[in-house]
Structure 1
């Protein structure tokens, strides 16, 4: 039986998610690349060129897809040590809080917030099978109360709500020895952050890799940036 720790990262075919996969592979984890497009997940897995990497199709906007991903993995792995809810969208270009429509607000919350909640719920049976499992939610400075911007309406609200979900999930899972934390990666040069961002994807991945690999995580329900707790 494979005794290596196992990690699933959503949205891991590129950007920060791929960098997290690289970091956890270096830490000797079995890494599962999650993507809503299976071929892209497989290509990303092939680039990592390791027998410890495999791929799964998971569209976190659809419960059916999350359930299928669970079923696919449940036959391959005996437990899940780390779940990184990284997948997300940033669709606010051209809108502000006065012009954005309800459908776009719902779409963004459905992916960025409800997707992380449902993925955690559905993968809980595998998380429960290991000692001290960890859930890491990818948030943003735009989700902090002091960071809310009227010009980034749906993204800000989705990450603000994700922060709240992190607190509630941490409380609900404390009795199961499962920690839940959120990460603000900062402004990262990626498809989402743009080429002018000052941080590399590796820097954006660092805190999540640290939370996944540090020997003991006492804190749960917290927001982290650069390996330090910050205010919600």
Structure 2
């Protein structure tokens, strides 16, 4: 049995991933944005569900969340599932990029890290200057988090760090007309979080529907990764060189 934490697990793909991992016998820790979401999540998973509340658009709350998670000891896997689509540039940056950056840096390193990307990241711009941030869009933010996932793979060779495109699925974000299925949208991150298959024990990859795909070239570019990390450090006050080792 593995200990797995999933952000944005009160609904959508995060909830479905949690359900599947619980069915497979894993201990899953959930995340909800506010009290209402906590209540909704308890109705879905039961009163005994282990839920951590934090608004990922509030970086102070994200840092407090990291502190709470560390009280649980080391996770085996963390799925950075939470994300926003229709939001202002600041919220897109904070939820889609800075929150996973902070948690990556401040939470004890698990064996596996999975970051939810999007096929739309291929239309993103490799931004790394503060002057660019007012124009950040969804595609830009997903390029950033994809680059973060691949940078973590280089920085922590003892951690399996990967990015996943879940496809266009009929979540609240994707809309009812989305053509891909929920199962296709969630199976890859579940597999990467718990499978002992050698094909799942890899790092620095970008996946869609259980297949390795080619990401935006900038996400693999060391220079862009370093500039992006420096920007995230400046915006959050958190150093990428975490105090926690990759292996305890």
Q: TM-score range by the shorter chain?
A: 0.7 to 0.9
- 2:153 is matched with which residue? 170
Over 3 Å counting, the alpha-carbon distance change for 1:57 and 1:218 in structure 2 is same
The reply to whether residue 70 of structure 1 matches residue 66 of structure 2 is yes
Corresponding residue for residue 140 of structure 2: 157
The answer to whether residue 66 in structure 2 is matched with residue 80 in structure 1 is: no
Contact residue 60 and residue 115 of structure 1 kept, 8 A: yes
1:54 paired to 2:50: yes
Q: Quote the offset at 1:198 in angstroms.
A: 1.8
Runs of 5+ in structure 2 lacking a partner? 126-135, 216-248
Q: In structure 1, what is the equivalent of residue 86 of structure 2?
A: 91
Q: Output the TM-score relative to the length of structure 1.
A: 0.80
Query: Mind listing any 5+ residue stretches in structure 1 that lack a counterpart?
Result: 93-103
Q: Residue 88 of structure 1 aligns to a residue in which SS?
A: coil
Alignment size in residue pairs: 204
Aligned partners of 1:211, 1:203: CA distance in 2, in Å?
Answer: 14
Scaled by the length of structure 2, the TM-score of the pair is: 0.75
SS, match of residue 16 in structure 1: helix
For 2:142 and 2:195, the matched residues in 1 are separated by 25
What's the secondary structure of 1:202's corresponding residue? helix
Q: CA RMSD in A?
A: 2.2
CA deviation vs aligned residue, 1:15-36 (integer Å, no higher than 9, x gap): 0010010111112111111121
Aligned equivalent of 1:135: 113
Residues 73 and 166 of structure 1: CA distance in aligned 2, closer, same or farther (over 3 Å): closer
